[in-house]
């Protein structure tokens, strides 16, 4: 149907363009095929190496992967009538876990606000210290919560306080970075206005920057709260209280306590889904139509 006699340029010219484009396409395909081959080779060799270095074999172990959950589910199914009572029993530990997350998010976010302002070009109180503050934030982000928690438990003994401090420190690093990116997008004009009336640095930040960035701060803080609930549940495994501690005890008891494991999992799952939904609802409100 498409008769192309009415070309704009000569037939020779079009053939040149076609030849050049085909050449380019062939080269691209060749590179693509080479990349694919390298990728497959790396994946295969990497998998083999990892399989050799593991204690068991992946191929033999894979069939057992559903045995444990199956065992847990079977026992939980037999004792299903006990689950509601167990959930009530473990509810206080769940509250402790959520409290650890809430307190650490609050403290971490407050410290992060100060440090993020000190780490933002154009806003910092001491511009020369920007690099130092940024490296401090990097450091706080780089150390895993569980490492800080283990050290603190060694010093302070087990309990919720070391967990709270550990998560708060990590939160300072993570939120400080995100907050300072938000700060960079804030308009400097209100700051000039406040400077012209003789406001101090603290006044300029509190009255000039924070009102501009507060919705974004809150949105990131809610996201972090969600992450911290998971983190605080995990820290229970190393002995810092909360529902993670109960979960570890039930697990290490083994058969006979799997109903408790199931109850704790259900509680934890429900809580995480609940806070996930709540925070995404409020974050949409804040960043969307606010």
Partner 1 sequence: MLKVRNLTKSFGANTAVDNVDFAVDRPAMIGIIGASGAGKSTLLRMLNRMTDATSGQIEFEGREVLKLSGARKRAWQSDCAMIFQQFNLVPRMDVVSNVLHGTLNARSSLATMFNLYPNADIHRAIDILDRLGIADHAAKRAESLSGGQQQRVAIARALMQDPRIILADEPIASLDPMNAQIVMDALRRIHDEDGRMVIANLHTLDTARKYCDRVIGMRMGRVVFDGTPAQLTTGVARDIYGAGASFSEAATSTALESPESAAAKALHEAEAAV
Note the residues at the interface with partner 1 (CB under 8 A). Answer: 1-4, 6-9, 13-14, 17-18, 20-22, 24-25, 28-29, 32
Shortest spacing between CB 30 and partner 1, in angstroms: 13
Closest to partner 1 by CB, 17 or 44: 17
Phi, psi values for residue 282, rounded to 5°: -70, -35
Shortest spacing between CB 34 and partner 1, in angstroms: 13
Any idea how long the chain is? 290
Closest to partner 1 by CB, 18 or 54: 18
Closest to partner 1 by CB, 1 or 55: 1
Phi, psi values for residue 120, rounded to 5°: -100, 130
Shortest spacing between CB 44 and partner 1, in angstroms: 20
Separation between Cα atoms, residue 21 and residue 164, nearest integer Å: 61
Closest to partner 1 by CB, 3 or 67: 3
Shortest spacing between CB 284 and partner 1, in angstroms: 22
Q: Quick one: tokens of 260?
A: 């408790």
Separation between Cα atoms, residue 211 and residue 40, nearest integer Å: 52
Closest to partner 1 by CB, 9 or 63: 9
Closest to partner 1 by CB, 4 or 197: 4
Phi, psi values for residue 179, rounded to 5°: -60, -40
Shortest spacing between CB 18 and partner 1, in angstroms: 5
Q: Are 130 and 124 in contact (CB under 8 A)?
A: yes
Shortest spacing between CB 40 and partner 1, in angstroms: 14
Separation between Cα atoms, residue 268 and residue 286, nearest integer Å: 27
* SS3 of residue 118 by DSSP: helix
Q: Burial, 79: exposed, middle or buried (Cβ in 10 Å; 0-12, 13-18, 19+)?
A: middle
Shortest spacing between CB 13 and partner 1, in angstroms: 7
Q: How far apart are the first and last CA of the chain?
A: 54
Shortest spacing between CB 14 and partner 1, in angstroms: 5
Separation between Cα atoms, residue 5 and residue 25, nearest integer Å: 25
Closest to partner 1 by CB, 2 or 55: 2
Q: Burial, 82: exposed, middle or buried (Cβ in 10 Å; 0-12, 13-18, 19+)?
A: middle
Closest to partner 1 by CB, 13 or 121: 13
Q: Are 104 and 172 in contact (CB under 8 A)?
A: no
């Amino acid at each position: 149907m498409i008769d192309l006699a009415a070309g704009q340029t000569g037939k020779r010219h079009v053939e040149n363009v076609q030849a050049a484009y085909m050449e380019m396409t062939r080269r691209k395909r060749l590179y693509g095929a080479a990349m694919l081959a390298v990728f497959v080779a790396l994946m295969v060799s990497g998998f083999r190496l990892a399989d050799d270095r593991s204690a068991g074999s992946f191929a033999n172990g894979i069939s057992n992967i559903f045995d444990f959950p199956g065992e847990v589910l079977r026992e939980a199914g037999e004792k299903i009538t006990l689950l509601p009572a167990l959930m009530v029993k473990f509810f206080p530990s769940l509250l402790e876990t959520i409290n650890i997350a809430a307190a650490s998010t609050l403290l971490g976010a407050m410290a992060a606000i100060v440090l993020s302002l000190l780490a933002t070009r154009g806003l910092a109180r001491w511009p020369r210290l920007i690099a130092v503050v940024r490296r401090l934030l990097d450091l706080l982000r780089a150390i895993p919560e569980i490492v800080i928690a283990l050290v603190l438990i060694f010093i302070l003994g087990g309990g919720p306080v070391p967990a709270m401090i550990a998560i708060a420190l990590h939160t300072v690093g993570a939120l400080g970075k995100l907050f300072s990116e938000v700060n960079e997008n804030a308009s400097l004009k209100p700051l000039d206005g406040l400077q012209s009336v003789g406001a101090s640095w603290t006044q300029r930040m509190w009255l000039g920057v924070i009102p501009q960035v507060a919705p974004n701060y809150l949105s990131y803080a809610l996201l972090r709260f969600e992450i911290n609930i998971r983190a605080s549940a995990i820290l229970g495994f190393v002995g810092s209280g909360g529902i993670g501690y109960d979960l570890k005890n039930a697990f290490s008891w083994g058969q006979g306590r799997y109903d408790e494991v199931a109850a704790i999992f259900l509680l934890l799952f429900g809580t995480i889904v609940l806070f996930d939904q709540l925070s995404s609802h409020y974050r949409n409100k804040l960043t969307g139509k606010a």
